[in-house]
Structure 1
């Protein structure tokens, strides 16, 4: 399971929590959901760290944007992590599933192969960041975004993801692609870099609160497969077209979402 989470998580640029959490909810129905979300955040940290390492030197990680997004994500993630203990299990599962369905549909209908237009007007504003990415075929893709919008998107992604026990990449990916205009490959790699910080902050919070107790052995066991899986996923992403990466992400997200909704309604 860890190998699958590591492979798919790194392939689409997330921590893998949206794959892991439904499985944990099925295997350990008796465990408090805050323990299971704590496990997914630990695995998300390990997976995103390994994935970012695997992407090193590729030019896909936008470190400057990544640090800005992380600065907005971390405090929001801490707040979301604390609030998980106040959500009833049934409500927790239904909210999680509905949000995941919405994100899945949004990503599947996205035409990622179309030529991106500038999502902000050319201006000398200090809040506009202009970026470019050199593709493997020698061409260059350019885009720009408003830093203020990026900060708001990151804060929302961090809060919601920690609240429902997922690494922030699940929500960062669609926001970065659809709102900020990032290319798919850059969004995936940069998202994993940001997830390192959001998962780490959430994990530290869970250690302090004691939520991780009862899940340490499970987290360690899963992580043994996550590390090689992350390197394998990064290798596959180099040979896969953008549209298929997004569609794999959308399908996996939809399957996991339906499973969670059904489990929540059946309680």
Structure 2
């Protein structure tokens, strides 16, 4: 394995642990480091995210950072729809997938920089559940389709509706775990996972996730929100320029 991939896996793990949205950078890193086509690189990345998200979920649970009302509806939506996204990736094509994902990421990042303006329906428990279920379903489908993992879209969508940044970042770990599990089933069916690269990625990302979660717990929430938004915009522009 090249030094570039080793560093990329650890850095991506750190970003996932600290902000829950750094995983999107893994797909271009795998493509550049191995020469894989996007469909195979995205399937490999999505598979590896399941295990690192499981590590992140355990660490957040042990620290008491997970809130059931944020986690459950997102996980339900992601588990039901991510597999369908993976099974339809070939219909869209690699070039279109990259462009669509990049634009969505930029929009989400820019939106997260705005002041939150919750809808009136968010004031009720049922309204929040429906919104989070919708986020889980839509973002879960996109996760399976593009291999992005999910939090790169779900975290900004939650923050802009007024959910607190740190619990939102923590909830993104179990959400990603369920999205990746469902999406990986679809990728296994269409044989779009490189298991060797996925295994090495899991080991190195886990180290970064541990460090990122420890760092995030000491960060100012306002700074964390800005970091999430800026990372989204940077990632989207980077993908478009590629």
TM-score, length of structure 2 as denominator length:
0.88
Structure 2, unaligned runs of 5 or more: 1-7
Query: Counterpart in 1 of 2:114?
Result: 110
Contact 1:61 1:190 in 2 (8 A): yes
The equivalences for 1:1-267 within 5 A come to 1-14=8-21, 16-29=22-35, 31-107=36-112, 109-111=113-115, 119-120=120-121, 128-129=124-125, 145-179=127-161, 181-212=162-193, 215-263=194-242
Q: What is the number of residues matched between the two proteins?
A: 235
Residue in structure 1 matched with residue 4 of structure 2 by the alignment: none
Unaligned runs of 5+ in 1: 123-127, 130-143
**1:165 CA displacement:** 1.6
Report deviation, 1:145: 4.6
Q: By percentage of residues, which structure has more strand?
A: 1
Flag the structure with larger Rg: 1
Decide which structure has greater helix share: 2
CA RMSD of aligned residues (A): 2.2
Aligned residue for 1:211, secondary structure, equals coil
Question: Is the 1:44–1:167 contact (alpha carbons within 8 Å) kept by the matching residues of 2?
Answer: yes
Tell me the distance in 2 between the aligned counterparts of 1:23 and 1:246.
25
Deviating more after overlay: 87-96 vs 32-41: 87-96
TM-score (norm 1): 0.80
Cα distance in structure 2, aligned partners of 1:120 and 1:59: 28
Kept after mapping to 2: 8 A contact 1:22/1:259: no
